[in-house]
A and B are shown apart, each in its own frame.
Chain A
Amino acid sequence: GENVEQHPSTLSVQEGDSAVIKCTYSDSASNYFPWYKQELGKRPQLIIDIRSNVGEKKDQRIAVTLNKTAKHFSLHITETQPEDSAVYFCAAMGYRNSGYALNFGKGTSLLVTP
């Protein structure tokens, strides 16, 4: 089955700096890679996703890159702000048993200090 590794587990940056979170996956058939943000005490929410037919996607300060050959994808946050502080989860969508399911990484706790 799919195995998603996520690094680092914790990340501390100063406001205005960039943050990068990296994930690798094992199933070459995985074709959809979402990123979720979970603020303290709240539910995970999708912030950006990328499909296997593109290599990069941007949405304002957030970007995701995908390297299918190497089976890794990364989240890039530029000009970080204190409200970016949260736990970020990467995931890879693969076919399991008789349906699709997301396999999540273990999360990265990002702290942005003013």
Chain B
Amino acid sequence: ETGVTQTPRHLVMGMTNKKSLKCEQHLGHNAMYWYKQSAKKPLELMFVYNFKEQTENNSVPSRFSPECPNSSHLFLHLHTLQPEDSALYLCASSQEGTGYNEQFFGPGTRLTVL
């Protein structure tokens, strides 16, 4: 698959579990993003990485921990989540520098916290 890929596509976890979401972009972009999409608050920006450096942490609880080892990979580490964290987690990438940057989204990970 080309573009932006995410794994797993579906995840069910208990509140005491630790899991990680993975995102990979094959577009040569230098910026990557995590969004949370739920029925109540569509497309909430969580984290932004430019050139592997985190530039945005949108008041996200510490039970979500991002990691960006290189410009092509982005992880979201999850631990002691709450049921209200159940949502679709979308990764996106773009080419930063001009401000006219189309963001390409991955297919998302549907997370259910029991």
Binding site for B on A (CB under 8 A): 31-32, 34, 36, 42-46, 49, 51, 87, 89, 93, 95-104, 106-107
Contacts and interface: CB of A to CB of B under 8 A. Distances in A.
A55 B33 CA distance: 29
A42 B88 CA distance: 11
A101 B42 contact: no
Contacts of B99: 31-32, 93, 95, 100
Contact of A99 (B56, B90, B103, B108): B56
A103 B41 CA distance: 13
B42 A107 contact: yes
A44 B90 contact: yes
Interface residues of B, number: 22
Nearest to A109: B42
Contact of B33 (A32, A97, A101, A103): A101
B102 A99 contact: no
From DSSP, what is the main secondary structure of chain B's interface residues? loop
B90 to A, nearest CB: 7
Interface in B16-58: 31, 33, 41-43, 45, 48, 50, 53, 55-56
B15 to A, nearest CB: 26
A34 B43 CA distance: 14
B50 A49 contact: no
Given A97-B55, A99-B50, 17 more contacts: A32-B99, A34-B102, A43-B105, A44-B90, A44-B105, A45-B105, A98-B50, A98-B53, A98-B55, A99-B96, A100-B99, A101-B33, A101-B56, A104-B42, A104-B43, A106-B42, A107-B43
A93 B99 CA distance: 7
- Which has the most chain B C-beta neighbours within 10 Å: A31, A100, A104? A100
* Residue from B33, B48, B53, B107 having most chain A Cβ neighbours under 10 A: B48
B37 to A, nearest CB: 9
24 contacts: A32-B99, A32-B100, A32-B101, A34-B102, A36-B105, A43-B107, A44-B90, A46-B102, A46-B103, A87-B42, A89-B43, A93-B101, A96-B55, A97-B56, A98-B50, A98-B53, A99-B48, A100-B96, A100-B99, A101-B45, A104-B43, A104-B45, A106-B42, A107-B43
